Structure 1
Amino acid sequence: MSWRLRIRHVTGFTYDGTAHASYNEARMTPVSMPGQNTLYSHVETHPAATTWRYRDYWGTQVTSFDLQRAHQQLRVTATSLVETMVAEVAPQRVEWATLRGEDVRDQHAELLVATKLTEVDDELAAEVDNLMAAEPADTALRTAEWVHDTVAYVPGSTGVQTGAQEAWALRKGVCQDLAHLTVGLLRARGIPARYVSGYLYPNRDAAVGDTVEGQSHAWVEWWCGEWFGYDPTNAVPAGHRHVVVARGRDYADVTPLKGVYHGAPAAHLGVTVEITRLA
């Protein structure tokens, strides 16, 4: 099965006066990879600016641009056409001994270390001791399902700076928090895990031509022989309704739009995401 999706993502900043100069990075372009092919992508800015593209350390396509003239608002619109496919091959699995080996730990060192947003304390890590299984892949799946069952998805309940430990204390959060908590617990168990940012078409039974309003979405990938994607917010493996844009250690590595500027205080313009199934 394959789907073809058109995605229009609009975000930006509005200033309490005038910004005189700004430098910005947008991570809003879906990647091409096995199971996902980006057929078209375009990022435009208002005010208009010359853009440059490069891939960052984590393989994300970044659109950078700067504005050297006065402006009161910055709006960025990313339009993409993406084909997604369902993976039909079962992921490779390894034993705990392999996962704990020096070669694996060296290769995935950066994805085994806690960050400010994914750090969990020893007491929280111990909460999932009973989920340990004979194979790491089963432990990872049980952990993600446990996060889904114990932390409620409540839009607006947390902010972008909320960490995994705080979301756990609240027992609620948004997709970012469930992803951070899952990543933190997996790393605490020695399973390499990374944060994934992208989009989710919410209706699994959508007809061709259906358009929905959505938002940026977050899920996780863990390595137990090869990378496997799972969405703890919806308790489903990442599939043809998920569109990968960026991967990293946590949200700070994949922020859709960030930058520096000189001028009046800024406020986020908000986010609008529109997704249409074309095939």
Structure 2
Amino acid sequence: MRLTVDHVTRYTYDQPVRGVVQSHRLTPSSFEGQTVLDWRIDVSDGLAGGQFRCGAGDRIQSWSVQGPVTEITVRVRGTVETTDTAGVLKGHRETVKPALYLRDTPATQMDGALETLSAAAEGSANPLEAAHRLAAAVADAIAYRPGTTAAHTTAAEALALGEGVCQDHAHVLIAIARHREIPARYVAGYLFADAEGRAHEAAHAWAELWVPGLGWVGFDPANRCCPDARYIRLGSGFDAQDAAPIKGIARGPGQEKLDVTVAVLAAQQ
């Protein structure tokens, strides 16, 4: 499947700031199942800084904008060729050991309800089956409802609410997988459409769990599936904050307002 991405992030400030420094995880890697054909990032009045590939295999690029400035636009455009690998991440270059992803973060800390939910994996001697059971339990426990949770909602809070967005599904799955000693991490990316082919939030997130013999396998409880050719993988981290495509800081007292639009389309072959 050939997918095109147009991702625009616009920052506005109610008074000029002296400057902005950002770190971008906005360039997808090429691996089996995903090939980047072209990709471009533009930052209005921005100066590109150093870049490197982190231990998890993600490309990190720094940008700076000199002020005074009241608006910054980050635009990502590109084309990616994808194929379905049944959610298995194959040929992705990284050096971080899977056991590192057993570490909890504030967003994925356990409580009693999460421990109860993690019992869905009990009775399964097959690690892949256990991972599927956990993903299904999350999908059953949390209804997909955009706008019901916030960026800093934790896994425990989302489960208590019983509804949320893909970020919440991913955080809950990561929390209960780690509780079962299954390394798990958060993945940020794009989605062309949901399982029925209907329109969906194009900026998307899911989780990857480490399965012995297979490696990292993606699970998307929000859509009750494993990532397939409709998905573009950007990067990963311990949780949503760690895997954020854009991180940054503005120097000055101005209040920041954020507006994001993402379009993912199927291109002509």
Q: Same fold (TM over 0.5)?
A: yes
Confirm or deny that 1:160 pairs with 2:158.
no
Within a 5 Å distance, the mapping from 1:224-263 to structure 2 comes to: 224-225=211-212, 226-263=215-252
Secondary structure class of the residue paired with 2:241: helix
1:87 deviates by 1.9
Per-residue displacement from partner, 1:102-140 (whole Å, max 9, x unpaired)? xxxx94232112111111224421333243212121111
Aligned residue runs from structure 1 range 173-184, under 5 A? 173-184=164-175
Question: 1: CA distance between counterparts of 2:150 and 2:163?
Answer: 12
Q: Cα offset for 1:53? A: 2.9
Which residue number in structure 2 is paired with residue 103 of structure 1? none
What is the alpha-carbon root mean square deviation over aligned residues? 2.3
Offset of 1:242 from its aligned partner? Answer: 0.7
The letter for the 2-side match of 1:191 is I
Query: What amino acid is aligned across from residue 59 of structure 2 in structure 1?
Result: Q
Greater alpha carbon shift after TM alignment, 172-181 vs 61-70: 61-70
Give the superposition deviation at 1:90.
8.2
Q: What are structure 2's unaligned runs of at least 5 residues? A: 91-95
CA shift at 1:204, angstroms? 5.9
Matched, 1:197 2:188: yes
Measured after TM superposition, the shift of residue 172 of structure 1 is 1.0
Give how far 1:64 is off: 1.1
Q: 1:268 to 1:32 in 2, by over 3 A?
A: farther
Structural mapping, 1:1-279, within 5 Å: 3-87=1-85, 107-132=97-122, 133-202=124-193, 214-225=201-212, 226-278=215-267, 279=269
User: For residue 234 of structure 1, what is the amino acid of its counterpart?
Assistant: N
* Structure 1 position 89, deviation (Å): 10
- d(CA) in 2 for partners of 1:264 and 1:57? 35
CA deviations over 1:216-239 (Å, ceiling 9, x no partner): 100011111111111110001111
TM-score, length basis structure 1? 0.86
Distance 1:89 1:265, change over 3 A: closer
Q: Which runs of 5+ in 1 are unaligned?
A: 93-105, 207-211
Instruction: Label 1:110 to 1:19 Cα distance change in 2 as closer, same or farther (>3 A).
Output: same
- Mapped contact 1:15–1:264 kept (Cα < 8 A): no
Provide the C-alpha distance between the structure 1 equivalents of 2:120 and 2:202, rounded to a whole number of angstroms. Answer: 34
Where 1:221 maps in the other structure, the secondary structure is: strand
Deviations 1:78-108 (A, max 9, x none): 111100011279899xxxxxxxxxxxxx942
Query: 2-side partners of 1:129 and 1:213: how far apart?
Result: 30
Write the distance in 2 (CA, Å) between the matches of 1:88 and 1:121. Answer: 31
Q: Give 2:58's aligned amino acid.
A: T
Tell me if the contact between 1:12 and 1:257 (Cα under 8 Å) persists in the aligned partners.
Answer: no
Question: 1:260/1:53 Cα in 2 relative to 1: closer, same or farther (>3 Å)?
Answer: same
Report if the CA contact (8 A) 1:47-1:71 is conserved. Answer: no
Q: Distance in 2 between matches of 1:90 and 1:243?
A: 13
What secondary structure sits across from 1:73 in the alignment?
strand
TM-superposed CA distance for 1:47, in Å, is: 2.6
User: How far does residue 266 in structure 1 lie from its aligned partner after superposition?
Assistant: 3.0
**C-alpha distance in structure 2 between counterparts of 1:89 and 1:5, whole Å:** 17
User: What secondary structure sits across from 1:127 in the alignment?
Assistant: helix
Q: Which amino acid aligns with 2:157?
A: E
TM-score (norm 2): 0.89
